[in-house]
């Protein structure tokens, strides 16, 4: 199953490996070394048509399967992921760049998504609605049909599993488009679908960049769209979905505030916040982008966070360092540009601030763990998602001021507060405009079991937890006449 470097990888449509119609390929590379990993087909709009048609023709039989049986098959996919977890983690680490232990966690959670939703397959119940005595009114929950799923490059297999597991147990079939720089674990998933007994056409995987993504989101025969990625692309996806009146789930970016109150356990706050920004090289929608720190502990926080940043081992993902490289060249340039913006905006550069140099870094997209202090909310580095290992630290004096700073962004994904005062914590979490708020910890996208999504421009709908299933089911109301007087 492992991806080999000398092979060309094709599309997975209708349970078969299918050559892309224009026979064009992109080479994916290890972002730490530049080593070519595989050549991956660029799907065209015609290929998207074929994948959607395969998903459409597989849909009637899949939805008619007994729910318990759908659940069993989906559980098998989770088991297949567990069986091949070591290979998948190795591929993810090489393709995405992340440290091996972080890749292992991603794969473990990917398997968990299938296990969790498999158990839900026979519990997707409807309701009865009390009307008059001569009527029986019921709701049943039905799958939409074909779900199109567009995936970003920061948690490739994990986010694929997050979307397709609830879609499949609900009885939908799927067409997945992974990101162009991280398609390899999705291709390995194609093999696992066969191994797990997923019927042909229920899962289809089309590789390539923006063009096949746009073709999928504009497709007339897609019934539901799940998009995870940036706000601008999310806007484009929503506009094309409007043309076909297709429901969308959008999981978009963040600029997440972590408020440190004067009574916080500073050791723990520093640990959670530095972990929150440097894990996955800051390429996490739910990273701790903004530390909003009370003036009484501000200097000490910066000193300790700087110590952590300077102690991190940065290196090749498969060597399992603390931090790997950024994922690709274009993004490397974007993050370095943001660092220059921060310097030009007169934020104080406490540590980092440039690309890493030296023999082991020369062929990769390595950036120093970076901390800016004295950041003010009007700065671009306080407002825009950098998506790299760049922590911005902002001081405050009054609690209301901290909340104002926290909420003064267009995003509303995650947020957190560090304080030993429970009443204060509970009151502050109500005021933070984010769909996922943490107290004295930082849980990124939460757990498999907890609903996750965005307020404001961070998105629409919820993934994870039982709430995610709602995105993949439509309610049908059935009213039955029981009036025996009328024939």
Active-site amino acid positions: 251, 285
Q: Is 228 in the site for ligand NAD (CB under 6 A)?
A: yes
Question: Would you count residue 209 as binding ligand NAD (CB under 6 A)?
Answer: yes
Instruction: Tell which residue, 254, 356, 371, has the closest CA to residue 306.
Output: 371
Give me the least distance between CB of 296 and ligand NAD, in Å please: 32
Burial (CB < 10 A; 0-12, 13-18, 19+), residue 7, is exposed
Q: Does 151 bind ligand NAD (CB under 6 A)?
A: yes
> Does residue 185 touch ligand NAD according to CB under 6 A?
no
Q: How far is CA 427 from CA 299, 395, 414, 421, 435, in A?
A: 26, 20, 16, 10, 15
285 makes contact with ligand NAD (CB under 6 A): yes
* Size of residue set near ligand NAD by CB under 6 A: 31
Residue 97 is a binding residue for ligand NAD (CB under 6 A): no
Q: Which residue is nearest to ligand NAD (CB)?
A: 213
Query: Out of 86, 129, 131, 210, which residue is the one contacting ligand NAD (CB under 6 A)?
Result: 210
Q: Which stretch binds ligand NAD (CB under 6 A): 176-184, 193-201, 335-343, 429-437?
A: 176-184
Question: Which of 71, 156 has the CB closer to ligand NAD?
Answer: 156
Q: Does 448 bind ligand NAD (CB under 6 A)?
A: no
Site string for ligand NAD, 406-445 (x = CB under 6 A): -------x-------------------------------x
Contact residues for 242 (Cβ-Cβ < 8 A; gap 6+): none
**Terminal Cα distance for the chain, rounded:** 62
Smallest distance from the beta carbon of 6 to ligand NAD, in angstroms?
25
* 236 is an interface residue for ligand NAD by CB under 6 A: yes
Minimum CB distance to ligand NAD, residue 232 (Å): 7
**CB-based burial, 200-231: b 16+ in 10 Å, e otherwise:** bbbbbbbbbeeebbbbbbbbebbbbbbbbbeb
Contacts of 381 (CB under 8 A, 6+ apart): 338, 341, 342, 345, 347, 372, 375, 390, 392
Under the binding rule (CB under 6 A), the answer on residue 154 touching ligand NAD is yes
CB 324, CB 98: distance < 8 Å: yes
Verify binding: residue 252, ligand NAD, rule CB under 6 A: yes
CA 384-388-391 angle, to 5 degrees, is 75
Q: Which residues contact 425 (CB under 8 A, 6 or more apart)?
A: 417, 419, 439, 440
What is the closest distance, in whole angstroms, from the C-beta atom of residue 96 to ligand NAD in the complex?
11
List 148, 229, 325, 353, residue binding ligand NAD (CB under 6 A): 229
Distance in angstroms (rounded) separating the CA atoms of residues 31 and 182: 10
- Cβ 46 to ligand NAD, closest distance in Å? 17
Apex 158 CA angle, 155 and 163, nearest 5: 115
Residues 372-401, interacting with ligand NAD (CB under 6 A): 385, 387
- Does residue 217 bind ligand NAD (CB under 6 A)? yes
Q: Which stretch binds ligand NAD (CB under 6 A): 151-159, 190-198, 358-366, 399-407?
A: 151-159
Position among 39, 87, 230, 383 found at the interface with ligand NAD (CB under 6 A): 230
**Binding flag, residue 253, ligand NAD (CB under 6 A):** yes
- Least Å distance between CB 249 and ligand NAD? 10
Output the CA torsion sign for 327, 330, 334, 336.
positive
Closest approach, Cβ 216 to ligand NAD, in A, equals 7
Catalog residues that contact ligand NAD under the rule CB under 6 A: 150-154, 159, 177, 179-180, 209-210, 213-214, 217, 228-230, 233, 236-237, 251-254, 285, 385, 387, 413, 445, 454, 459
């Amino acid at each position: 199953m492992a991806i080999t470097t000398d092979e060309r990888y094709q599309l997975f449509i209708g349970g078969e490996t299918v050559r892309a119609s224009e026979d064009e390929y992109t080479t994916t590379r290890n972002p730490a070394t530049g080593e070519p990993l595989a050549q991956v087909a660029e799907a065209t709009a015609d290929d998207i048509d074929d994948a959607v048609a395969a998903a459409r023709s597989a849909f009637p039989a899949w939805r008619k399967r007994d729910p318990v049986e759908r659940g069993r098959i989906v559980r098998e996919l989770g088991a297949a992921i567990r069986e091949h977890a070591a290979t998948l983690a190795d591929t993810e680490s090489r393709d995405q760049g992340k440290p091996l232990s972080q890749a292992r966690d991603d794969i473990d959670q990917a398997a968990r998504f299938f296990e969790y939703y498999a158990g839900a397959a026979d519990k997707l119940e409807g309701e009865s609605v009390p009307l008059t005595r001569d009527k029986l009114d019921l709701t049943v929950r039905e799958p939409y049909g074909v779900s199109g799923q567009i995936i970003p490059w920061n948690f490739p297999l994990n986010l694929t599993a997050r979307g397709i597991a609830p879609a499949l147990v609900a009885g939908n079939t799927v067409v997945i488009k992974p990101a162009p720089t991280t398609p390899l674990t999705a291709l390995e998933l194609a093999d696992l679908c066969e191994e797990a007994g997923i019927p042909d056409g229920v899962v289809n995987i089309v590789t390539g960049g923006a063009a096949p993504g746009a073709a999928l989101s504009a497709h007339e025969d897609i019934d539901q769209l799940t998009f995870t990625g940036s706000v601008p692309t999310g806007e484009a996806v929503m506009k094309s979905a409007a043309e076909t009146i297709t429901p969308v789930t959008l999981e978009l970016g963040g600029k997440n505030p972590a408020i440190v109150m004067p009574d916080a356990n500073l050791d723990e706050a520093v640990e959670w916040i530095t972990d929150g920004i440097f894990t996955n090289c800051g390429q996490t929608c739910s990273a701790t982008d903004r530390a909003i720190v009370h003036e009484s502990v501000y200097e000490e926080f910066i000193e300790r966070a700087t110590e952590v940043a300077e102690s991190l081992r940065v290196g090749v993902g498969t060597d399992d360092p603390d931090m790997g490289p950024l994922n690709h060249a274009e993004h490397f340039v974007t993050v370095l540009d943001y660092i220059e913006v921060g310097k030009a905006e007169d934020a104080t550069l406490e540590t980092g601030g440039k690309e890493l140099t030296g023999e082991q870094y020369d062929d990769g997209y390595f950036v120093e763990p970076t901390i800016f202090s004295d950041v003010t909310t009007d700065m671009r580095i306080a407002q825009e998602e950098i998506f790299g290992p760049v922590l911005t630290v902002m001081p405050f004096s009054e609690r209301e001021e901290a909340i104002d700073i926290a909420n003064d962004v267009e995003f509303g994904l995650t947020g957190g507060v560090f304080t030993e005062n429970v009443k204060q914590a509970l009151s502050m979490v109500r005021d933070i405009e984010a769909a996922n708020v943490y107290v004295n910890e930082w849980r990124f996208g939460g757990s498999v079991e907890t609903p996750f999504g965005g307020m404001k421009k961070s998105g629409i709908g919820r993934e994870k937890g039982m709430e995610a299933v709602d995105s993949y089911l439509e309610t049908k109301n059935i009213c039955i006449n029981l009036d025996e007087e009328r024939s």
